Amino acid sequence: MDTKDISRRHFIQRLSLFGAAGIGAGSLLTACGGGEQQPQAADDESAQVAEEATTAEGFTCTDTSGLTEQDLTIRNTLQYVDASLDPEKLCDGCALYVAAEAGQNCGTCTVIKGPIHPKGSCTSWAPKPA
């Protein structure tokens, strides 16, 4: 068979192989952090708000050292911050928030793992039922 003569079946097989490889490479890059980067200004604003909350409350709830990578991903995806930018949506007013036990400052959440500041917030905020 001459190398210039390619059957339609052979062409489609190669095309699907390259397509599958392209999709796999894209998925791999996204999973490895090759996706879009967050704007630096938003990170600076979150850090400033967290610092102001620490000053006002005297404590932070940012120790995530015992969390798995999946837990950290959920925490970041739901955009948890230690201090809410919206005073109407504080963690201690959320139906998902579990108040801190006696002698502790940080509560927990039924959706986000790790310590949760009562004045924090995330995108899963839901008002407590009346």
Structural domain boundaries, residue 109 = 59-130
Torsion sign across C-alpha atoms 115, 117, 120, 124: positive
In a domain, residue 5? The reply is: no
Q: Give the whole-angstrom CA distance, residue 59 versus residue 57.
A: 6
In a domain, residue 110? The reply is: yes
In a domain, residue 12? The reply is: no
Q: Which residues of the chain are modeled with pLDDT < 70?
A: 1-5, 10-11, 15-57
In a domain, residue 31? The reply is: no
Q: Give the whole-angstrom CA distance, residue 116 versus residue 81.
A: 9
Q: What is the pLDDT of residues 40-66, one digit of tens each?
A: 444 555 555 555 544 456 789 999 999
The per-residue pLDDT for 40 is: 46
In a domain, residue 4? The reply is: no
The per-residue pLDDT for 65 is: 93
In a domain, residue 78? The reply is: yes
pTM over 0.75: no
The per-residue pLDDT for 28 is: 47
In a domain, residue 72? The reply is: yes
The CATH number given to whatever domain includes residue 107 is 4.10.490.10
Q: Give the whole-angstrom CA distance, residue 58 versus residue 87.
A: 18
Domain count, the chain: 1
In a domain, residue 70? The reply is: yes
The per-residue pLDDT for 114 is: 95
